């Protein structure tokens, strides 16, 4: 039987969130188009529930071109049996499914970036409807949210786990605890101006403890990034107590850093071809040269130099060589 979430959303499904066991199905997003009059867009959803315990919402494919999380969660869906769970897992491996199928950051249907669309709109375009469903239906029934991102086609990260600093001491301490449990080479705390249009902010508005990641990027699936993601998710589920911790000893996240305000970011000032002088993981100084933008259509013109505006470690770097004025070329983090 098809279940509607009590008129809260136009998205409906046949999953019963309160039923014990494993249900693999689709959310149905009504979308009437030129090629499908009464059709719906399918968004894969899995519920794995066993008795009482916390509810964890696991999402990936919020940006369609970030693949490590999508692979990690699809594997988790196939591997985990209800008997291994104490509580409930809600797993959506391709949250913006149209974007994930197209391998694009934004949806090809409405050109919207899901992670800039919260709190969404019940009666809006498909991406806005997804944001609204997550914010008004899924997050209110969740205790924890793990939203797996990576750099996508245009950025490459050191595989990282991240949280937002909220100013609420109890909440920040809890989030730091799960960030440390995730493991891997790097954790960062976003301490700069708050972005209130993302899933992390939606989780915060719902009082849900939230964890994010930036696992790699470049529109690829990195071997190391995937290893960090798979282990990290299991480590966090173990800490929360919704599953047994993975076998073997898990080292905590090696290095905890902070990403501050706009001066941690470097942007292209010209259109051209960017030549970086330093690579991911480098420790850099304020005013140090990062690289140069070349003008291949006018080789007589001297390249324009690009400098860092802050001390720190290079944790994220633009992936493609060609760049436009305004593109993010890199961002830094500092030890916390
Ligand atoms: Zn992303």
What per-residue confidence (pLDDT) applies to 113? Answer: 98
What per-residue confidence (pLDDT) applies to 192? Answer: 75
What per-residue confidence (pLDDT) applies to 3? Answer: 67
What per-residue confidence (pLDDT) applies to 249? Answer: 84
Low-confidence spans in the chain with pLDDT less than 70: 1-4, 6
What per-residue confidence (pLDDT) applies to 314? Answer: 98
What per-residue confidence (pLDDT) applies to 2? Answer: 58
What per-residue confidence (pLDDT) applies to 188? Answer: 97
Q: Count CA within 13 A, CB hemisphere, residue 28.
A: 14
Instruction: Give the Å distance between the CA of 64 and the centre of ligand 1.
Output: 8
User: Is the distance from CB of 324 to CB of 154 less than 8 angstroms?
Assistant: no
Instruction: Give the Å distance between the CA of 62 and the centre of ligand 1.
Output: 6
What per-residue confidence (pLDDT) applies to 7? Answer: 78
Instruction: Give the Å distance between the CA of 60 and the centre of ligand 1.
Output: 9
CA 261 to chain centre: 20
Instruction: At 226, give phi and psi (nearest 5°).
Output: -70, -40
Q: What is the torsion angle, in degrees rounded to the nearest 10, for the CA atoms of residue 200, residue 99, residue 315 and residue 246?
A: 70
* pLDDT above 70: percentage of residues in the chain: 98
What SS3 class is residue 184? coil
**Residue 241 φ/ψ region, left for φ over 0, alpha for ψ in the -120 to 50 degree band, beta for the rest:** left
**Cα–Cα distance measured from residue 137 to residue 140, given in angstroms and rounded to the nearest whole number:** 6
Residue ranges of alpha helices (H) inside 6-150 are: 68-79, 97-102, 126-133
Instruction: Give the Å distance between the CA of 205 and the centre of ligand 1.
Output: 20
Instruction: Give the Å distance between the CA of 150 and the centre of ligand 1.
Output: 6
Q: For the full predicted model, state whether its pTM sits above 0.85.
A: yes
What per-residue confidence (pLDDT) applies to 114? Answer: 98
Instruction: Give the Å distance between the CA of 75 and the centre of ligand 1.
Output: 20
**Cα–Cα distance measured from residue 260 to residue 262, given in angstroms and rounded to the nearest whole number:** 7
Instruction: Give the Å distance between the CA of 149 and the centre of ligand 1.
Output: 4
What per-residue confidence (pLDDT) applies to 248? Answer: 87
Instruction: Give the Å distance between the CA of 201 and the centre of ligand 1.
Output: 14
Instruction: At 172, give phi and psi (nearest 5°).
Output: -65, -40
What per-residue confidence (pLDDT) applies to 194? Answer: 78
**Cα–Cα distance measured from residue 199 to residue 213, given in angstroms and rounded to the nearest whole number:** 12
Mean pLDDT of the chain: 96
**Cα–Cα distance measured from residue 269 to residue 304, given in angstroms and rounded to the nearest whole number:** 8
What per-residue confidence (pLDDT) applies to 336? Answer: 87
What per-residue confidence (pLDDT) applies to 193? Answer: 76
What per-residue confidence (pLDDT) applies to 1? Answer: 53
Q: pLDDT tens digits for 154-180?
A: 999 999 999 999 999 999 999 999 999
Instruction: Give the Å distance between the CA of 73 and the centre of ligand 1.
Output: 15
Length of the chain: 336
């Amino acid at each position: 039987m098809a279940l509607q979430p009590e008129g809260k959303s136009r998205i409906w499904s046949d999953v019963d969130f309160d039923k014990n066991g494993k249900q693999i199905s689709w959310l149905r997003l009504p979308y009437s188009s030129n090629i499908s009059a009464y059709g719906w867009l399918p968004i894969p959803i899995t519920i794995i529930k066993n008795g009482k315990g916390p509810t964890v919402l696991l999402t990936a494919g919020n940006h369609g071109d970030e693949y490590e999380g999508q692979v990690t969660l699809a594997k988790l869906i196939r591997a985990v049996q209800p008997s291994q769970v104490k509580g409930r897992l809600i797993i959506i491996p391709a949250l913006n499914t149209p974007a994930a199928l197209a391998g694009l950051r934004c949806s090809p249907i409405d050109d919207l970036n899901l992670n800039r669309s919260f709190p969404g709109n019940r009666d809006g375009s498909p991406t806005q409807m997804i944001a609204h469903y997550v914010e008004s239906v899924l997050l209110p029934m969740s205790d924890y949210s793990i939203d797996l991102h990576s750099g996508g086609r245009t950025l490459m990260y050191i595989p990282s786990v991240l949280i937002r600093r909220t100013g609420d001491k109890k909440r920040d301490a809890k989030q730091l605890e799960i960030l440390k449990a995730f493991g891997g080479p790097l954790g960062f705390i976003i301490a700069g101006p708050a972005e209130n249009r993302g899933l992390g902010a939606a989780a915060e508005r719902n009082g849900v403890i939230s964890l994010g990641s930036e696992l790699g990027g470049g529109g690829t699936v990195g071997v190391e990034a995937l290893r960090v993601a798979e282990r990290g998710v299991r480590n966090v589920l173990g800490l929360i107590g919704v599953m047994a911790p993975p076998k073997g000893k898990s080292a905590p996240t090696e290095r905890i850093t902070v990403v501050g305000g706009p001066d941690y970011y470097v942007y292209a000032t010209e259109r051209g071809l960017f030549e970086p002088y330093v690579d991911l993981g480098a420790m850099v100084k304020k005013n140090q040269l990062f690289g140069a933008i070349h003008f291949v259509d006018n080789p007589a013109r001297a390249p324009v130099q690009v400098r860092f505006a802050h001390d720190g470690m290079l944790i994220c770097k633009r992936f493609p060589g060609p760049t436009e004025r305004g593109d993010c070329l890199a961002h830094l983090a500092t030890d916390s």
